[in-house]
Structure 1
Amino acid sequence: MKKIIELKQVYKDYPLAGISQTVLHDINFEVVPGEFVAIVGPSGNGKSTLLNLLTGIDHPSSGQVIVNGAALQNLSNERLSLWRGANLGIVFQFFQLLPSLNLLQNVMLPMDFLGKLSKTQRRQQAMQLLERVGLADACHRLPSQVSGGQQQRAAIARALANDPPLIVADEPTGNLDAATADDVFDLFAHLRDQGKTLVMVTHNETLAAAASRKLEIRCGRIHADTPAVAG
């Protein structure tokens, strides 16, 4: 079966007080299209570092990171940016919406960058995505004029803008109250049901239980890799 993610003998080192510290040790795993993988484990054990390698934000010290056929460690920053725009949707804990742009403009940004659609088509696509996440009526508001939950839903719409094969999320409910987190959880469950490939770092047990697979990271190593069991 085709693999959308392959990590082979991946190590990541960082200098700390002049000494090299290994944050990830010999990481090997694969993800096939349509999987929903929850990356779990205690804070400070390498989960977000692993996610940064999958998105090309950071590079491995050694080993291979292959995502949707591209060996990310071999791409220049310019090629990585183009690859990311076409292949990846990223959802951050703190939303990362541009404050001077309204929600519609924020969702259009990835399409503007890729430049494959006309301006009219981009606007139509962005409106459809905002409608899908329940924000059509708020499309002309700035991020500061809507709630945290609405900002996260807009960020999910932005991640879907170019219909990427892979959605990666880093603690997408970590900055939300429980009720709002449930709304965001429902959106991810819907994406799972549509067959999107999702890889998500989360401490939210409900969100992790909705995944098809749990990858537990402890001390920079894969401690367990198991099918998730909904509670």
Structure 2
Amino acid sequence: MGEPKLLMEGVTYEVADRLLLDRVELTVDPGESAAVVGPSGSGKSTLLGCALGLVRPHAGSVRVAGVDIVRMRQRALERHRSRHIGMVFQFGELLPELTPVENVALAALLGGVKASDAYERAEGLLKELGVPYSAVPTSRLSGGERQRTAFARALVNQPGLLLADEPTGALDARTRDQVAELMFSLPHRWGCALVVVTHDPRVADQADQCFELHDAALAQRAKDGRA
């Protein structure tokens, strides 16, 4: 299976004298998915921020693709992030005036891929993920199509680690189920590791591992919701 794509050890973070993460441990291997649930304000997005390198913990290590990103300088961290991490947000965070292909290709171009390859990758990913090729602006897509486009954008640079922050939170039940099915198929299809933060236990229960963040501690959670 190889080394973990994400290995968090002893991660501790506090803000304004409030402890959000207390010696958190999390390992996600290639081809594996993990979901993190917990009440609002419990620190779930902070946990993702640590994995993404946007939040530097006060203690502990965060190894992404074998490298501890906590100790990296900013420029090196940005390069490592673009090569090894893909991110999907609740509302997609796509540029609404661009087409789906342009949105996905832009991420590849920013990652240093030449234009012809960037657009070829974008078109292939959108086709594979079920987004109909279209010249219309992304703003005219359905909610499910926008999230599929967001996943294509996150995958275009072939990252080893895929992070998703409430990716189904703004979707209706039918579209949520479709997007969740796609999302949890990606680690097996692409060999990446997936970490999903969600409020929805129906989504979380589809992950290979499920954790609950409560009182700054991350604990294994059974699929029926029991810790």
Shared fold (TM-score greater than 0.5)?
Answer: yes
Residue 3 of structure 1 deviates from its aligned partner by 2.0
Q: How does 1:170-181 map to 2 (within 5 A)?
A: 170-181=165-176
Question: Which residue matches 1:4?
Answer: 5
Residue 228 of structure 1 deviates from its aligned partner by 4.3
Match for residue 212 of structure 1 among 203, 208, 211: 208
Cα deviation 1:150-200 (Å, max 9, x = unaligned): 111110110110111111101100011111111201211321432431110
Q: Distance in 1 between matches of 2:192 and 2:80?
A: 18
Given that 1:46 and 1:219 are in contact with CA atoms closer than 8 Å, whether structure 2 keeps it comes out as no
Query: Which contiguous aligned blocks of 4+ residues in structure 1 show a shift greater than 6 angstroms?
Result: none
Question: Which residue matches 1:65?
Answer: 62
Name the TM-score, length of structure 2 as normaliser. Answer: 0.91
Residue 52 of structure 1 deviates from its aligned partner by 0.6
Residue 106 of structure 2 corresponds to residue 81 of structure 1:
no
Q: Percent identity?
A: 36
Match of 1:58, SS state, is coil
Question: Which residue matches 2:42?
Answer: 45
What amino acid maps onto 1:86 in structure 2? R
Q: How does 1:78-227 map to 2 (within 5 A)?
A: 78-116=75-113, 118-138=114-134, 140-194=135-189, 195-222=191-218, 224-226=219-221
Residue 148 of structure 1 deviates from its aligned partner by 1.8
Match for residue 28 of structure 1 among 25, 29, 35: 25
Residue 105 of structure 1 deviates from its aligned partner by 1.0
Residue 56 of structure 1 deviates from its aligned partner by 0.6
Given that 2:105 and 2:118 are in contact with CA atoms closer than 8 Å, whether structure 1 keeps it comes out as yes
Cα deviation 1:17-69 (Å, max 9, x = unaligned): xxx22211111232222221011122211111101100111110222111111
What amino acid maps onto 1:187 in structure 2? L
What amino acid maps onto 1:176 in structure 2? L
Match of 2:133, SS state, is helix
What amino acid maps onto 1:152 in structure 2? Q
Q: Distance in 1 between matches of 2:35 and 2:94?
A: 24
Residue 227 of structure 1 deviates from its aligned partner by 6.2
Match of 2:96, SS state, is coil
Instruction: From the superposition, tell whether residues 226 and 24 of structure 1 become closer, same or farther in structure 2 (CA, over 3 Å).
Output: same
What amino acid maps onto 2:11 in structure 1? V
Residue 88 of structure 1 deviates from its aligned partner by 0.8
Given that 1:5 and 1:65 are in contact with CA atoms closer than 8 Å, whether structure 2 keeps it comes out as yes
Instruction: From the superposition, tell whether residues 217 and 61 of structure 1 become closer, same or farther in structure 2 (CA, over 3 Å).
Output: same
The CA RMSD measured in Å over matched residues stands at 1.8
- Give the length in aligned residue pairs: 223
What amino acid maps onto 1:177 in structure 2? D
